[in-house]
Structure 1
Amino acid sequence: MTQHPHEQQTPEFHDVDGEAQAPVEQQLADQVERLSAELEQLRAQVLLERADLENQRKRLAREVENARRFANERLLAALVPVFDALEAGLASASDTDPLRSGVELTLRELTKATETNGLSTLAPAPGDVFNPEHHQAMSIVEVPGVPPGAVAQVFQKGYLLNERLLRPAMVVVAKAD
């Protein structure tokens, strides 16, 4: 076959045994394809690592926020018996007792300071539905006029710290007649 002077023929290379090797263009195309696949794999890996770092950052931010919200948990838990003592003192004091107004003022200021730091009172009223997540049943009694499964009496208030249970309310629960 005669070759026209302007036509180019793809060179064919032979290895040591004389077998034809793929043309240079084919080798380069294969190499480009391998490198493109490797590049896509590296891009996917970078995206996964970036997402993992973002998830770690968010988790750390949540942990820091929870640590901040509940850092004073031990202190506020230690103040709960102080509330009980002040309220018991008020319950036993007469209206004419000269110390009553001082105890009331102390209780109001303590309540204000603790509420500012996320403490809230759990004080179910008789007739409220018993909530096992917030209430601790001390006993079950028949109480006329109170529906079964409802709080019949409150022995002791409970407390929440930023919506997390610090101490359950201790209650008596009504049972069916």
Structure 2
Amino acid sequence: MADANKDTIDEIELTEAEGFAEDELGFEEQVNELDQLRAERDDMRDRFMRALADAENARKRSDRDRREAEQYGGSKLSRDMLPVFDSLKRALEAMTDEQRAAAGAVMDGIDLTMRELINVFKKHGIDPITPEIGSKFDPQLHQAMFEAPVPGTKAGDIIQVMADGFMLHDRLLRPAQVGVSSSPK
């Protein structure tokens, strides 16, 4: 019986040892699973932060695009209206005093139309660029249509203005078309 008890004790110890080994194996698996879960959590956090940053960048970009569309969305229409301004200006400049007296009502209508067009331009942020004869040529605002040597001027001076230029807020809509003095010979 002592042998039977010893065999039973040995079996119990063997079973406990196997169970302990299985528990240790289970512990390692749990540690590995926990490490995997931590890595997955860190990956998800990184992806979430990137998605959050992308969403914020998209919001900022759309805000900037909206502001630009508000300010500059009408630039094509504005550009198309500039020849109307030029035609009205030429009509007003071409009339002599006698013609103005003879066609007084028509001239008043043209003048009122011109003023209304200028008011609409100002309302929408369109400002004229009106260079003066004798001022310096600025390639950022002016377009040289020709160059000619004119006595009494320096190279780069504006000698004639063919058409006014226009700015739409801080952007050039159309450069002023000018003639520029070259070095007198």
TM-score relative to the length of structure 2: 0.73
| 1:16 match | none
Residue identity in the other structure for 1:64: R
Alignment of 1:35-114 (within 5 A): 35-95=37-97, 97=100, 98-99=104-105, 100-114=107-121
1:12 has 2:21 as partner: yes
Cα deviation digits, residues 27-48 of structure 1 (max 9, x gap): 3233222211221111111111
Assess, with a 3 A threshold, how the Cα gap between structure 1 residues 147 and 31 changes in structure 2: closer, same or farther. Answer: farther
Q: Distance in 2 between matches of 1:39 and 1:146?
A: 76
Stretches of structure 1 that go unaligned for 5 or more consecutive residues are 1-8, 14-20
Q: Distance in 2 between matches of 1:163 and 1:50?
A: 33
Alignment of 1:15-34 (within 5 A): 23-34=25-36
| 2:181 match | 174
Higher mean C-alpha displacement, 64-73 vs 82-91: 64-73
* Identity, % of aligned positions: 32
Q: Distance in 1 between matches of 2:54 and 2:168?
A: 32
1:130 has 2:137 as partner: yes
Larger Rg: 2
Assess, with a 3 A threshold, how the Cα gap between structure 1 residues 129 and 51 changes in structure 2: closer, same or farther. Answer: farther
Q: Give the C-alpha shift of residue 134 in structure 1.
A: 2.8
Q: Distance in 2 between matches of 1:82 and 1:37?
A: 67
Question: Which structure is higher in helix share?
Answer: 2
| 2:122 match | 115
| 1:148 match | 155
Q: Distance in 2 between matches of 1:34 and 1:157?
A: 70
Stretches of structure 2 that go unaligned for 5 or more consecutive residues are 1-16
Q: Give the C-alpha shift of residue 163 in structure 1.
A: 2.8
1:163 has 2:163 as partner: no
Q: Give the C-alpha shift of residue 111 in structure 1.
A: 0.4
